[in-house]
Chains A and B, each alone.
Chain A
Amino acid sequence: MIPQFSRDDFKVVIYYIGNLIVYLGIMMLLPLFVGIINNEINPSLDFIISSLLCLSIGNFIMYKFPYNPDINWRQGMSIVALSWIVCMFLGAIPLFLSGHYISYLDACFESMSAFATTGLVLVNDLDHMAYAYNFWRHFMCFIGGQGIILVGLTFSVRGGAGMKVYVGEGREEKIFPNIVQTARFIWAVSIIYLFLGTLVLFFICLFHNITPGRALFHSICIFMAGWDTSGFAVQSQNILYYHSAAINLVTTLICVLGAFNFAVHYTVWTGKIKELVKNFELKLFFGSIIVLSSIVCLGFLGHFSFPNFFSFFRLTFYHLVSAHTGVGYTNSTIYHFLNYWPSFSLIGLIIAMGLGGCSCSTAGGIKIIRIGIFFKGIKKEIKRLLFPDSAILVEKFHNIRDVFIQDNQVKYATNIIILYILFYFIGAMVGTFYDYPFLYSLFESVSACANVGLSVGITTPSMPTLLKITYILEMWFGRLEFISIFVVIGFIFSLRSPE
């Protein structure tokens, strides 16, 4: 029998959510600042309203419910799963007030898409949006990519309690023994890359005649959305807007860096550059990019309609990397997918989206390490059948340190892979229910659940409400890797079951 969710559990969970709402309110002061320096009066007022609302709700909750420094696993998981939903609703308030969304549901969709670093959009007339709102869209990606809870961890949760919420956000890797130090390291890495990436993009934008103020804004936003693998962009045309090979190149690098395990960043930063060559997950990641590039290229045999090889490479490889890293940047239009991409190449792209980037990164999807563990597990099973019973079988790989594969690791990886595939197909079935072709429905569903953001045109403000809700749920489940949400669902059922 599932242990019942007690009143005390409830109080602890609500207190921490209240705490996080306060931080969300504080973070809304940054877009407010952007609004003020750009003389955007009404958008600034919207952020004042949203921020004050968050601070009021958060402080009220923190006043009403008791603080408990020790939280258990089920509480930790529940805090994570519910926080993301609460943040979606509150983060959507300034977006809805902007008038760029036809309904509050659309604003919630965009908010979840940003926090979950997906990049599917339902915004109307993005090109006339105020800087403050647009900055908030990208800043939500940055907060979500780092992990909403990680934000709280950095400042509030202490000691062992941190680990319970850290794992709940779909991360397993601890870079430091102390989880707060790990959280701070992840922030430090991101901020240093933010500075460097913004600088490079800023100069490219200046070279393209974009005014310094706008160049800075575009650079910061592109970096935040690229590094945190969301794929949002400042303008409706996404990366195509810039018509720049240099921006394509730099964003490709940002996408790849964003999809790396933070522990690899740390190891390389501490001078162990050989890790880049030895790391099992990176080998798999780049191997997968090569294999899937070949699949995409094969699809174009007999359908080659590009003016030259460079164009072909630029348009296909960019999308493949964008899909595999979970970013979702695009340098063409959905009509190119519909008119020029053969089904076989689209399948290559769907597989790339579904696999995702590395573990403990901002990328979504199954995560390439799990595929590696799954196949290592199969190899171990085959060996078990071939070798005598007395033989001790060992399978290992190098991921920062040597890891010996345990049966429970294989089981966990397999479970997560199955869950992702199941959700990819559930989303595709809902799309098919509304008469969208199966391949396109699958494309969009994988894009939502693996938090990628590439689209073949299904995601529009006019799409059916049920499909919007399905994609919101897929983004939420996919970003948190199911387990913490299942814990919450389990507790909901425990409330209904008799004592």
Chain B
Amino acid sequence: MKKIFNFVIFLLIFCFSAFAQEEITGKDLFEKMKQLDNKEVVIVGECIGDIIKGDKNTFIVNIRTDDNYFIGTVLSKEDAEKINHLGKYEEKGDIIKIIGIFHSNCPVHSGEVDIHCANMEILKEGEVYAEKIDMKRFIVGLVLLFIMLFFTKLSFTKSV
């Protein structure tokens, strides 16, 4: 009997832990924000913009999920230092996996929506893209320059 009981407990813990480790999409996180408030979530997203200094030696990094939702994650200094790339023009940010407590109205950060990170993992390093000059744009610009000069000359001649 005791063995069966232990097995059931093990099974339940296993199931719940497996469920807890399941990644949540940005859409689900925000649409179910009331149910998920103050609960542990796992989310994956691209670090964007800046590493913003928060209070008490914490840092906030905003992440963008695959389905285009955004959330601020509160990280320790050590975790924040692991991030090398932040998404911006011609730069893909690091893809990180966050396990943490979701707050729809964070009690520590005066009601903001955020995730307090307990564990952070970098899944994929970001990269900087080299910008290629678009020659079509260059040629169109050149043609327009001559047209503009022509009309400007006409306009000035008329006004003089």
Q: Which residues of A contact B (CB under 8 A)?
A: 38-42, 45-46, 48-49, 52-53, 55-56, 59-60, 62-63, 67, 97, 125, 127-131, 207-211, 214, 235-237, 240-245, 305-308, 310-312, 314-315, 331-333, 335-336, 339-340
Contact = CB atoms under 8 A, between A and B. Distances in A.
Contacts of B72: 237, 240-241, 243
B110 A63 contact: no
B135 to A, nearest CB: 10
A322 to B, nearest CB: 15
Given A56-B151, A128-B87, A305 B141 contact: no
A48 to B, nearest CB: 5
B151 A306 contact: no
A241 B34 contact: no
28 contacts: A45-B134, A52-B148, A56-B144, A56-B148, A56-B151, A60-B154, A60-B155, A63-B155, A97-B137, A125-B68, A127-B87, A128-B89, A130-B89, A235-B48, A237-B62, A237-B72, A240-B113, A241-B49, A243-B54, A306-B111, A308-B111, A311-B106, A311-B107, A311-B111, A314-B110, A332-B112, A333-B113, A336-B33
B70 to A, nearest CB: 5
Given A42-B134, A243-B114, A315-B111, A207 B148 contact: no
B155 A207 contact: no
B123 interface: no
Given A241-B62, A307-B107, A40 B148 contact: no
A40 B133 contact: no
A128 B144 CA distance: 28
B152 A243 contact: no
B24 interface: no
Interface of B: 30-31, 33-34, 48-54, 59-60, 62, 64, 68, 70, 72, 87-91, 104-107, 109-114, 131, 133-134, 137-138, 140-141, 144-145, 147-148, 151-152, 154-155, 158-159
A336 B87 contact: no
A128 B88 contact: yes
Contacts of A308: 107, 110-111
Nearest to B150: A56
A52 B141 contact: yes
A196 B88 CA distance: 27
Nearest to A238: B70
A60 B158 CA distance: 11
Contacts of A339: 33-34, 104
Contacts of B54: 243
A488 to B, nearest CB: 26
A237 B131 CA distance: 26
B64 A127 contact: yes
Contacts of A335: 30-31, 33
Nearest to B109: A243
Q: Name, among A209, A243, A336, A340, the residue most crowded by chain B CB atoms within 10 Å (CB to CB).
A: A243
Nearest to B38: A307
Q: Which 7 A-B pairs have the closest CB atoms?
A: A311-B111, A307-B107, A209-B53, A52-B144, A59-B151, A45-B137, A59-B155
Contacts of B140: 49
Contact of B52 (A53, A130, A210, A311): A210
Given A53-B144, A307-B105, A332-B113, 19 more contacts: A41-B131, A41-B133, A56-B148, A59-B151, A59-B155, A63-B151, A128-B91, A208-B52, A208-B53, A209-B59, A210-B50, A211-B50, A307-B107, A311-B106, A314-B110, A332-B111, A335-B30, A336-B104, A339-B33
Nearest to A130: B89
A56 B149 CA distance: 8
A116 B37 CA distance: 38
Contacts of B68: 125
Contacts of B158: 62-63
A209 B53 CA distance: 5
B26 to A, nearest CB: 10
A312 B52 contact: no
B104 to A, nearest CB: 7
A242 B52 contact: yes
Q: Name, among B31, B88, B105, the residue most crowded by chain A CB atoms within 10 Å (CB to CB).
A: B105
A129 B104 contact: no
Nearest to A332: B113
B44 to A, nearest CB: 16
A214 to B, nearest CB: 6
A42 B155 CA distance: 30
Contact of B112 (A46, A240, A305): A240
A310 B110 CA distance: 7
A312 B134 contact: no
Contacts of A314: 110-111
B106 to A, nearest CB: 7
B68 to A, nearest CB: 8
A236 B68 CA distance: 10
B105 A311 contact: yes
Nearest to B140: A49
